[in-house]
Amino acid sequence: MKKVFAIIFFIAVAAPVFAQQVVEQAEQLQQSADSAVVSRAPLADSSLVGKTIFQLLDKKGEGSVQINQPAQMSEAYGKYVKANGERKRQGYRIRLFFDNRQTARVESEELEKAFQEQFPLIPTYRSYTNPFFKVVVGDYRTKSEAIMELNKILPFYPKAIVVKESIYFPAI
């Protein structure tokens, strides 16, 4: 009798409470899935720019790390970095212009020059893919980086949007 009462109690009282909690969790997951999350990119340590792991570990007279490697190893690493530095990867850019009118070429050139004067540190790329002229700017690894930069550009270029493209990886 007590088991039957416990089951009836669970069905009548506890089950609706658990169901409500499940519904609330599902709604929270749905809201977070629809939201765009913008986070700051990690800052790089500027003291490491231009140094290799071999240079960092090779401290004469300090510690007990000793590197014994042929000179060809360091040369091969240098060649690898040089050869792959210009390779394109998937990332994001900000599109400022995309048009196929007869005046599109002149407009894209003018827009590119104006943008370079206004934002000289952001790389600009103008291209023609039949029949469209387009101007895109920046090389961003993540969409959040591109959105943060877009927020700075939007007051001057209100039609700018973030697009996924092949990019040159920016130096850290």
CATH number at residue 128: 3.30.70.1070
Per-residue burial over 22-36, b = 16 or more CB atoms within 10 Å of its CB, e = otherwise: eeeeeeeeeeeeeee
Q: In percent, how much of the chain has pLDDT > 90?
A: 38
pLDDT tens for each residue of 133-156:
999 999 898 899 999 999 999 999
Determine the structural domain holding residue 93 and report its residue range: 89-168
pTM over 0.95, yes/no: no
Residue 153 maps to a domain: yes
Q: How many helical (H) and strand (E) elements, i.e. helices and strands, does the chain have?
A: 6, 4
pLDDT at 74: 80
One domain for residues 25 and 93: no
Residue 51 maps to a domain: no
Give the whole-angstrom CA distance, residue 92 versus residue 145: 9
pLDDT tier for residue 132 given thresholds of 50, 70 and 90: very high
Split into its structural domains, the chain has a count of 2
Residue 23 maps to a domain: yes
Residue 50 maps to a domain: no
Residue 39 maps to a domain: no
Q: Which two tokens stand for residue 17?
A: 């409470």
In eight-state DSSP terms, residue 149 is: H
